[in-house]
Amino acid sequence: MITLDQLTKRYGDHLAVDDVSFTAAPGRVTGFLGPNGAGKSTTMRMLTGLTRPTDGHALVNGRPYAELPNPGREVGVLLDASAQHAGRTGREVLAIARRTMGLPRARVEETLERVGLTEEEGGQRVRHYSLGMRQRLGIGLALLGDPEVLVLDEPANGLDPAGIRWMRDLLRGFADAGGTVLLSSHLLHEVEVVADDLVVIGRGRIVARGSKAELLESAGTVARSRRTPELVAALHAAGHAATVGTDGLVHSDAGCEAVGDVALAAGLPLAELRPADGAGLEEMFLQLTAAAQRDSVDADPSPTSSDLREGAAA
Amino acid sequence: MTSATSLTVDTPGTTSAGTTSPWTSPGTSPGTEGSPSARAAAAHAPIPFRRLAWVELTKMFDTRSGFWLLAGIAISALLATAAVVAFAPEESQTFEQFSAAIGMPIAILLPMVAILSVTAEWSQRGTLTTFTLVPHRGRVLLAKAVCAVGVGVVSMGVALAIGALGNVVGTAISGAPTVWDVDAANLATIVLANVLGLMMGFTLGVVLRSSPVAVVGYFVFSLVLPNALFALGMVQEWFADLQPWVDFYFSYTVLFEDVPTGEQWAQIGTSGLLWLVLPLAFGVWRVTRTEVK
Ligand SMILES: Nc1ncnc2c1ncn2[C@@H]1O[C@H](COP(=O)(O)OP(=O)(O)O)[C@@H](O)[C@H]1O
Ligand SMILES: [Mg+2]
C-alpha cells in the first residue's frame, strides 16, 4: 500500500510536483502517467526518501520510507536502470543487495533466472549490458527482497516487445498475488493494458485519477462529420463538452443519442457515431496532458478535459 | 485548474487484508497478522551495522579500481623494500629506512582508498540503490569510514611486516647488524598519522563527492598548501606562530617523525578540528539532506 498525501516539490521558482495525493492499493497495478517532465520521477524519489519533499508526505505500508527497518524487504524500487556501477557484473550487483537485505545466497541465481538473464549474462559487467538487460537487472533488484510493494519508474524503456509483454505478465501476477504496483510511464499504451488504476499527471499536478474502467467510461462519444467545426459549435451550444481530437474526430462527453439529436437538429450529416472505447483513452490522455504541456498554446483548458477531470475526481 | 482532491482511488473489490507476498506463491503466507504494515513490522528486523560494514568492505574490493588500489599498497610495499635491499648502503639498512620507504607510497594510496570508498558510488550513481536499501545515509557513511580505517590499519600492518622482513633479509644478505630503530610508540604514531591522512581523504570524498575533484583536493592539501603556507610563514611572522595551531598538514605530519609533545597534541587537536572534524560534519550533514538521483 502506498499513500501520497499532498506531496509537493519546489526547485527554486519551479513547482516540479504540486500537491499530489493518491493511493496505490494492494492487489492492483496503479499506472502513473504523464508526459516527460511532468514530475513522475520526482514524486517517486520523494516516495522512496531520495528527495526531500517541500511539503506533504508519503507512506509505504503506513510508514514513511525512512522508517522501514529493511526497506528492500518491503518495497522493490527501480528508479533508473542505468544507475549501477558499470564495472560490476549483474551477479555482483544483486549479491551486494542480497547481503544488505540479509537474504539467502541462492536468491541471487533465482532472481537472475526470474528476470530472464542467463548464467553467462549474469557474469558480464553491467557496462556491456543493453538498456533492456539493465531494465531486467533493475527489476531483479526490485524483486530480490520478496517485497509486497513495487515502485518502478519507466521500467519498459529499452525493453523489446517480448520484454514488455514479459514485464506486463510479471506485474499482473505480482498484483494478483496481493502485491501493490506503482508503475510510471509517459506512454499510455504501455500501462493501459496492465493497469487497474490510472493517475495522470501534467506539469506537477494530477489531472485525472480513477480506475481504468471509470476513465474509459468517462471518455464519452466519438463522432465524425464533414462539418466538424459546426458540430463542435452545436454541441457547445447544447451545453455539451466537445473537442476535435488529434485524429480529426469530435470527442464529446455527451452520450451517442444526445450527439445524434444535436446533429440532426443542426442539420449536420454524421459519417460515424460511436461510444469512445479503449482507443478513446489515448485521446483522453492527450487532451488531459495537453492542458499541462509546456508547449501548449491554448492556456484555456478545453471543456471536455475539465469535465473529464471532474468525472475522474468524483 | 480543477484538481482532484479525493484521497483515494475508488478501487472496488480491494481489501487491505490477506496480502500475501507475490514472490512466495499466494497462500504460503497466511496473512493472519492483518494489515501489510503489521506483517512487515513483525517480519523484518532492522539491518545491523555489522552487515552494513561488511557490505561496504565488499564494495571496496569488488571493483577493478578498488582491487588494484589495495593490491597497489602491497605491491608498492614489496617494491620499496626490494629497492632498499638492493640500493641503500649497508649502514642505512635499518627498520626506520624500510618503514620510511614503504610509508611514502602508503601515505598517498590510503587517502585514495578512502576517497574512492565514498566517491566511486556517487560518480557511478550507485547511491540510488544504496540509499533506497538503507535510507539512513549517516549509517552508510559511518560504515564506509569504519571500513576505510580498518583497511588502512590492516594494510599498514601488512606493509610494516613486509618492511620488517626486508630488514631481516636485507641485513642477512649484507651481513650488517639488524637494527630496530623505531620504537613501539613511534610505530603507533605513524599508524595514527596515516589514519588521519586517510580520514582527510575521506572528508574530501564526503564533501566533494567526485573522485577526480577529491583526488586533486587531496594533493592540494598535501603538496600545494604546505608549501604555500610555509612561504607565508616565512614572510609573515604572526603566521609562523599561528601555523601549527591552524595548519593540519603541518601539525599532524609531526606524528611521522616522533611522539608529539603535549603542545603538539593540542595543535593536532585544534587544526584537526578545523580541517577534519568541522568539514566532515558539514559534509555528512549535506549528504543526509541532498537529493539523490
Ligand atoms: N534537481 C532539480 N532541479 C531543478 N529542476 C528539477 C530537478 N529535478 C527535476 N526538475 C524538474 O522537475 C520537473 C519534473 O521532472 P521529473 O520528475 O524528472 O519528470 P518526469 O519523470 O515526469 O519526466 C522537470 O521540469 C524537471 O526539469
Ligand atoms: Mg522520469
Residue with the bigger pLDDT between B146 and B87: it is: B146
- pLDDT at residue B42, as a whole number: 54
Q: What is the mean pLDDT of residues B22-35?
A: 37
| Distance between CA atoms of residues A97 and A137, nearest Å | 12
Q: What is the mean pLDDT of residues A137-166?
A: 93
On the question of pLDDT at A252 being above 90, the answer is no
CA of A11, closest atom in ligand 1? 4
The predicted-structure confidence for A70-126, as pLDDT tens digits, reads as follows: 999 999 999 998 888 888 999 999 999 999 999 999 999 999 999 999 999 999 999
Residue from A15, A32, A41, A285 whose mutation best tests the ligand 1 pocket (most atoms within 8 A of CB): A41
Residue with the bigger pLDDT between A311 and A41: it is: A41
Q: Give A284's pLDDT tier (boundaries 50, 70, 90).
A: low
The neighbourhood of ligand 2, an ion, using CB within 5 A, equals: A 41
Nearest to A25 among B14, B125, B293 (CB): B14
| B36 within some domain | no
The predicted-structure confidence for B109-125, as pLDDT tens digits, reads as follows: 899 999 999 998 898 88
Question: Is A160 an interface residue toward B (CB < 8 Å)?
Answer: no
The predicted-structure confidence for B203-224, as pLDDT tens digits, reads as follows: 999 999 999 999 999 999 988 8
- pLDDT at residue B103, as a whole number: 82
| B33 within some domain | no
Ligand with minimal distance to A18 CA? 1
* CB atoms closer than 10 angstroms to residue A27: 22
The verdict on a CB contact (< 8 Å) between B10 and A211 is yes
| Distance between CA atoms of residues A174 and A146, nearest Å | 10
Q: What is the mean pLDDT of residues A159-165?
A: 90
| Distance between CA atoms of residues B293 and B288, nearest Å | 13
Question: Measured from the CB, is residue A38 less than 6 Å from ligand 1?
Answer: yes
Ligand with minimal distance to A35 CA? 1
Q: Give A292's pLDDT tier (boundaries 50, 70, 90).
A: low
φ/ψ bin of B175: left (φ > 0), alpha (ψ from -120 to 50), beta (otherwise): left
CATH 3.40.50.300 location in chain A: 2-215
The verdict on a CB contact (< 8 Å) between B3 and A313 is yes
Q: Please check whether the domain covering A221-275 is classified as CATH 3.10.50.
A: no
Q: Give B166's pLDDT tier (boundaries 50, 70, 90).
A: confident
Question: Is B22 an interface residue toward A (CB < 8 Å)?
Answer: yes
Question: Measured from the CB, is residue A42 less than 6 Å from ligand 1?
Answer: yes
CA of A14, closest atom in ligand 1? 5
- Residue numbers of B between 187 and 226 with CB closer than 8 Å to A: none
Which helix (H) or strand (E) is B172 found in, with range?
helix B137-174
Residue with the bigger pLDDT between A63 and A304: it is: A63
Whole-model pTM: value is 0.81
Question: Is A73 an interface residue toward B (CB < 8 Å)?
Answer: yes
Mean pLDDT of chain A: 86
Question: Is B28 an interface residue toward A (CB < 8 Å)?
Answer: no
Q: How far, in Å, from the CA of A67 to the mean position of ligand 2? A: 25
Question: Is A311 an interface residue toward B (CB < 8 Å)?
Answer: no
What residues of chain A lie within 8 A of the CB of B131, using their CB? 49-50
Q: What percent of chain A has pLDDT over 70?
A: 87
Cβ contacts below 8 Å, chain A against chain B, sum to 203
Q: What is the DSSP string of A198-263?
A: EEEEETTEEEEEEEHHHHHHTT-EEEE-TTHHHHHHHHHHTT--EEE-TTS-EEESS-HHHHHHHH
The parent domain of residue B228 ranges over 49-289
| B17 within some domain | no
Nearest-Cα residue of chain A relative to residue B50: A100
The predicted-structure confidence for A12-42, as pLDDT tens digits, reads as follows: 999 999 999 999 999 999 999 998 889 999 9
Q: Give B164's pLDDT tier (boundaries 50, 70, 90).
A: confident
Q: Give B157's pLDDT tier (boundaries 50, 70, 90).
A: confident
The verdict on a CB contact (< 8 Å) between A88 and B63 is yes
What residues of chain B lie within 8 A of the CB of A147, using their CB? 21, 23
> Which set of grid coordinates corresponds to residue A188?
499510455
| Distance between CA atoms of residues A289 and A307, nearest Å | 14
At CB < 8 A and 24+ separation, what contacts does A241-246 make?
Answer: A241/A302, A241/A303, A241/A304, A241/A306, A241/A307, A241/A308, A242/A303, A242/A304, A243/A287, A243/A302, A243/A303, A243/A304, A243/A305, A245/A283, A245/A286, A245/A287, A246/A283, A246/A286
Q: Give A281's pLDDT tier (boundaries 50, 70, 90).
A: low
Q: What is the mean pLDDT of residues A256-263?
A: 89
| B195 within some domain | yes
CATH 3.30.70 location in chain A: 221-275
Task: Enter the ipTM.
Answer: 0.79
| Distance between CA atoms of residues B87 and B170, nearest Å | 11
Question: Is A275 an interface residue toward B (CB < 8 Å)?
Answer: no
Domain count, chain B: 1
Question: Is A125 an interface residue toward B (CB < 8 Å)?
Answer: no
- The CATH class for the domain spanning A2-215 reads alpha beta
| B128 within some domain | yes
DSSP bridge partners of A32: A184, A199
- pLDDT at residue A288, as a whole number: 60
- pLDDT at residue B236, as a whole number: 81
Residues 6+ apart with CB under 8 A from A65: A47, A48, A49, A58, A71, A75, B135
Q: What is the mean pLDDT of residues B20-46?
A: 47
Question: Measured from the CB, is residue A11 less than 6 Å from ligand 1?
Answer: yes
Q: Give A280's pLDDT tier (boundaries 50, 70, 90).
A: low
- pLDDT at residue A277, as a whole number: 65
Which helix (H) or strand (E) is B190 found in, with range?
helix B184-208
On the question of pLDDT at A311 being above 60, the answer is no
The predicted-structure confidence for B86-104, as pLDDT tens digits, reads as follows: 888 877 778 888 888 888 8
- pLDDT at residue A287, as a whole number: 67
The predicted-structure confidence for A165-201, as pLDDT tens digits, reads as follows: 999 999 999 999 999 999 999 888 888 889 999 999 9
The protein residue with its alpha carbon nearest to ligand 1, atom 3, reads A11
| B260 within some domain | yes
- pLDDT at residue A286, as a whole number: 73
Q: Give B37's pLDDT tier (boundaries 50, 70, 90).
A: very low
On the question of pLDDT at B292 being above 60, the answer is yes
Nearest to A310 among B2, B39, B40 (CB): B2
Q: What is the mean pLDDT of residues A276-297?
A: 60
| B197 within some domain | yes
Question: Is A143 an interface residue toward B (CB < 8 Å)?
Answer: yes
